[in-house]
Structure 1
Amino acid sequence: MPPLDKPLEVPDDPALAAKLREQQAKVDALNLRYKHHGATAVIDKALQDTDAGDLALVSSFGAESVVLLHLVSVVDRSTPVIFIDTEMLFTETLVYQSEIAERLGLQDMRIIRAAEAEIAAGDPDGTLHQRDTDACCALRKTAPLQKALQGFDGWFTGRKRFQGATRETLDFFEVDGPDRIKVNPLAHWAPEDIRAYMDENRLPRHPLVAKGYPSIGCAPCTSPVKEGEDQRAGRWRGTQKEECGIHFVNGRMVRIGAGQ
């Protein structure tokens, strides 16, 4: 998040602005409190800290997801884990999700999808992604997640600074609108940290990683990455799109509404 003296992408609403400032103050305090902690300690403390509130883990079960899933399972296997099935995922991802959830003993696995009526109205022939990727992500991913997160005060993500320009200043804690925060325990991890952790704990890789997919989303909008490219270069290739919409872009809040 940018400093509060820089404008956030929010409506001119004094009440909303006040809530955002309150959230920012909470996040600043949490980052200060845990700035010298490692990932496991951040997870453990966040799950216990009343300032963080009730938390869920949102996971794509993608290329590196197993690291955070394993860390959280070690701390507390009862932590709710939310997986968004956009119904356009690779078959390999669906199989991998089932296998990892069983292997780690995740006790509160929640698989969510957009309502059939919403898909029928917004993307009846399954081609929305060819015309408007933002609208497709909003329909199949962002809106279902917002519903699933109702009742939670925040959520864990597996984002890391090395993943691209939009993530290079990530902190452990950040604002996610006026009512929730995000927790990024792996924010400061490097690629070699990820590989080492997976090797040391004998964690299975997503099968598509070996086929040149270092970042894995929906099948129609994800392609292999060439050597030397940014690891997210295969996501929405040929467009300016870099994020699906469930996260901040360039530190600004993504607007979610009927017009998006």
Structure 2
Amino acid sequence: MSFTAINALKNTGSVKDPEVSPEGPRTTAPLPEDIAARNLELVDKHAQALYDASAQTILEWAAEHAPGRVAVTLSMENTVLAELAARHLPESDFLFLDTGYHFKETLDVAKKVDERYNQELVTALPILSRPEQDSLYGKNLYRSSPTACCRMRKMEPLAASLSPYAGWITGLRRADGPTRAQAPALSLDATGRLKISPIITWSLEETNQFIVENNLIDHPLTHQGYPSIGCETCTLPVAEGQDPRAGRWAGNAKTECGLHS
């Protein structure tokens, strides 16, 4: 299995305003008009029926109807989507955003996923390395401007990496918090691509049960008080009974990185 790294050209300028991203690919190429029109038609016709559908039904629908290649986005917090896609979307690619700030355990899970599954694992990298970002924007941008840091290290790498695809699979669950409580199983993203969330109705308990019953690759931190795992610098453990995402950007009003808002 090949392991593809997408890394844009490095910027050597002196950009310091965190609202201005460094030079390099950071947007998604427009879809061909016929694919965009087909995606719109599919969402209009099928979104309501898929709203509370099972993961299998949603993925089988994607395999039948998606008018082009599909990427399965993996945070490596768990590997449920990898397993489901291997069963129902074997021609899809896996897409992992390596922010440069991940827990070592998260990178270990990514390595194991690459070894276990036949899909190509595409790793999307930010334009700047951590030292380059510190040099241009000041050290620890995740503290001084977490929204800008997420934009440069998550949103823009994802946008650039989605260009070859007609749609993408996400691990969104409505149970993860109030900002996701009404999220659809099928919608269009801002570029007109299909955004498909097969485990949208699952609870954290159902997710964990699927992991155990199917002997999936397990992220060790999920057993150490981390039900939701992002960058090591911005994720804390949470108390039992708390919102699963309470440890993300703890002490900050921020609740979403921007990928799903």
With structure 1 as the length reference, what TM-score do the two structures score? 0.79
2:114 aligned with 1:98 = no
Contact 2:127–2:152 (CA<8 Å) still a contact in 1? no
2:127 aligned with 1:112 = no
Cα distance in 1 between the residues matched to 2:143 and 2:129: 20
Contact 1:59–1:158 (CA<8 Å) still a contact in 2? yes
Q: 2:61 aligns with which of 45, 58, 79?
A: 45
In the TM superposition, what are the counterparts of 1:38-77 in structure 2 within 5 Å?
38-50=54-66, 53-62=68-77, 65-77=78-90
Contact 1:122–1:139 (CA<8 Å) still a contact in 2? no
Q: How far did residue 123 of structure 1 move?
A: 5.5
Q: Percent identity?
A: 33
Distance 1:53 1:107, change over 3 A: closer
Unaligned regions of 5+ residues in structure 1, if any? Answer: 1-19, 249-260
Cα distance in 2 between the residues matched to 1:67 and 1:109: 15
Q: CA RMSD in A?
A: 2.4
Residue deviations 1:74-120 (CA, integer Å, cap 9, x gap): 123331111010000001100111112312x1321101101247972
Cα distance in 1 between the residues matched to 2:131 and 2:63: 34
Cα distance in 2 between the residues matched to 1:77 and 1:157: 16
Deviates more, 1:191-200 or 1:206-215: 191-200
Deviates more, 1:139-148 or 1:109-118: 109-118
Aligned to 1:139: 152
Q: How far did residue 212 of structure 1 move?
A: 0.7
Partner of 2:228, secondary structure, is coil
Partner of 1:56, secondary structure, is strand
Aligned to 1:170: 183
Aligned to 1:9: none
With structure 2 as the length reference, what TM-score do the two structures score? 0.78
2:42 aligned with 1:29 = no
Cα distance in 2 between the residues matched to 1:159 and 1:74: 19
Deviates more, 1:149-158 or 1:125-134: 125-134
In the TM superposition, what are the counterparts of 1:179-194 in structure 2 within 5 Å?
179-194=192-207
**2:256 counterpart letter in structure 1:** E
Unaligned regions of 5+ residues in structure 2, if any? Answer: 1-35
Distance 1:206 1:126, change over 3 A: farther
Aligned to 1:258: none
Q: How far did residue 181 of structure 1 move?
A: 2.4
Q: How far did residue 128 of structure 1 move?
A: 0.7
Partner of 2:59, secondary structure, is helix
Contact 1:47–1:53 (CA<8 Å) still a contact in 2? no
Q: How far did residue 134 of structure 1 move?
A: 0.3
Cα distance in 2 between the residues matched to 1:118 and 1:214: 26
Count of aligned pairs: 225
Dislocated runs of 4+, deviation >3 Å: 20-26, 32-37, 116-119, 121-126
